[in-house]
Amino acid sequence: MNPILRDTIVEINLDRIAHNVRKIKEMAGKNVAIAAVVKANGYGLGAIGIAQTIMENGGDYLAVAALNEGLNLRKVYGNYPILIMGHTPDSNLLYVVENDLTQTIFTLHQAKLLNALGKEYEKKVKVHIKYDTGFNRLGFKDNKKSLEDIEKISKLEFLEIEGIFSHLALKNDEENKIQYEKFTKALDYLKAKGVTFTFKHIADSIASVDYPQYRMNMIRPGAILYGLKGFHKGELNIYQAFTFKTKISYIKELSKGEGVSYDYLWKATRDSIIGTLPFGYADGYPRNMRDKGYVTVNGKKAPIIGVICMDQCMVDLTDIGPVKEGDEVIIYGDGTDNTMSIQEASELAQTNKNEIAARITMRPPRVYVKGGKIVKVTNYL
Ligand SMILES: *Cc1c(COP(=O)(O)O)cnc(C)c1O
């Protein structure tokens, strides 16, 4: 087992990941495949560290945003199907083919390039077609010319068009329906031309839970794998699967009137006990948490005081009771026991839950726990 090279860590509860995936699979039913979205290094939890648990508990496919994320997983997992949902530049397509990744395409141009590479490497290259029904990010625009191009792609000998997908803007029920109907109309047209797909998908986490009618035969959940609940209509019994924690590095007593951190933006209004914690904005903690953020020590909330530094911050421990250097500190928990949940952190930092998780940088080691025991430690640095 690797040593844990720092006190500030992300602890991942693999039992909770397993539980969440099983619940998602249960919800979707056996006829709907799960493309588990582990982009952005598994939303900060470490894609490699969680992929096996996901795939052994109901995941059917791994989905990432970018080629390098796919290659990172492929190095460790030789057999899992991996979908790159984003664009790969032409010059890098050979790595897709060499490593048996599934590439999203939305131009005839890239289809032809991949087909040529397939011929060269003597293999069928798997692709999913991205079809844009209104999000206006990536995808074939919804028109006749695009459908004709997709038909041409379907005839390329060294390509296997395994899937086709779109993405909902989730504006409202009415707009969702318009997008979905554009998609199914395109699918009907293609079917009439003899072009069919193994996987058809349009639903992310929120859509999968809130709009069962749009699950088709594959869903692409990200947030809910990790226990992040953005849905509001449906129900899904999942748990936040990670904790961001650290330990107190230093404790000191301050006299009334003394300042703390840059510009002395916090000043002691009474004699105080101040703790220094070894995490800062370079670990992905939002710098705008100043005067709002808190951590949890011994089940009690300790406010973050003064400017949050790159690598450290200070907390007021005066009202916490007996504490000592080395005591455990919860930065983000699951909201129980006075901890700050990812939901609350996102509100305080004025962003969304996915960003709070994904912005945690490579500096904190990832510590994987199963059955209450540490089973793996990853130090990226
Ligand atoms: C990120 C992403 C998802 C997963 O999003 P969640 O909201 O985390 O479920 C699904 N599909 C695509 C295309 C994505 O980029």
The tokens describing 128, both together, are 């999913």
pLDDT-derived band at 372 (thresholds 50, 70, 90) equals: very high
Mean pLDDT of 209-219: 98
Identify which of 21, 137, 204, 215 to mutate to test ligand 1's pocket (most ligand atoms within 8 A of the CB). Answer: 204
- Per-residue pLDDT tens for 170-197? 999 999 999 999 999 999 999 999 999 9
- Determine contact, residues 157/164, Cβ cutoff 8 Å: no
Give 222's contacts (C-beta < 8 A, 6+ positions apart).
Answer: 36, 37, 38, 39, 43, 204, 205, 354
- 249-268 mean pLDDT: 98
Confidence of residue 123 (pLDDT cuts 50, 70, 90): very high
What pLDDT does 20 receive? 98
pLDDT digits (tens, 9 = 90+) for 281-296: 999 999 999 989 999 9
φ, ψ for residue 329, nearest 5 deg: -130, 130
| Cα–Cα dist 142/165, whole Å | 12
Helix (H) or strand (E) holding 13: strand 9-13
Rounded to the nearest angstrom, the distance between the alpha carbon of 23 and the centre of ligand 1 is 18
CA 312, 314, 320, 324 torsion-angle sign: positive
Query: What are the tokens at 373?
Result: 């025991």
Task: Report in angstroms the alpha-carbon separations of 86 from 45, 68, 105, 109, 360.
Answer: 20, 11, 8, 16, 22
Specify the pLDDT at position 88: 98
Cα-to-centroid distance, 37 and ligand 1 (Å): 6
CA atoms within 13 A on the CB side of 183: 28
C-beta of 37 in contact with ligand 1 (< 6 A): yes
Query: How much is the pLDDT for 80?
Result: 98
Predicted confidence (pLDDT) per residue in 309-340, tens digit: 999 999 999 999 999 999 999 999 999 999 99
pTM given for the model: 0.97
Counting from 1 in the atom list of ligand 1, the atom nearest the Cα of 85 is 13
Q: What distance in angstroms lies between residue 11's CA and the mean position of ligand 1's atoms? A: 23
Alpha-carbon radius of gyration of the chain: 24
Q: Tell me the percentage of the chain whose pLDDT exceeds 70.
A: 100
Name residue, tokens 């540490």. 374
300 alpha carbon to ligand 1 midpoint, in Å? Answer: 35
Compute the mean pLDDT over every residue in the chain, rounded to the nearest whole number: 98
Cα end-to-end distance, the chain, whole Å: 16
Burial class (CB in 10 A: 0-12, 13-18, 19+), 4: middle
What pLDDT score does 176 carry? 98
Per-residue pLDDT reduced to its tens digit, 9-64: 999 999 999 999 999 999 999 999 999 999 999 999 999 999 999 999 999 999 99
CA 259 – CA 233 distance, rounded (Å): 47
User: What local confidence, expressed as pLDDT, does residue 196 receive?
Assistant: 97
State whether the beta carbon of 167 lies less than 6 angstroms from ligand 1. yes
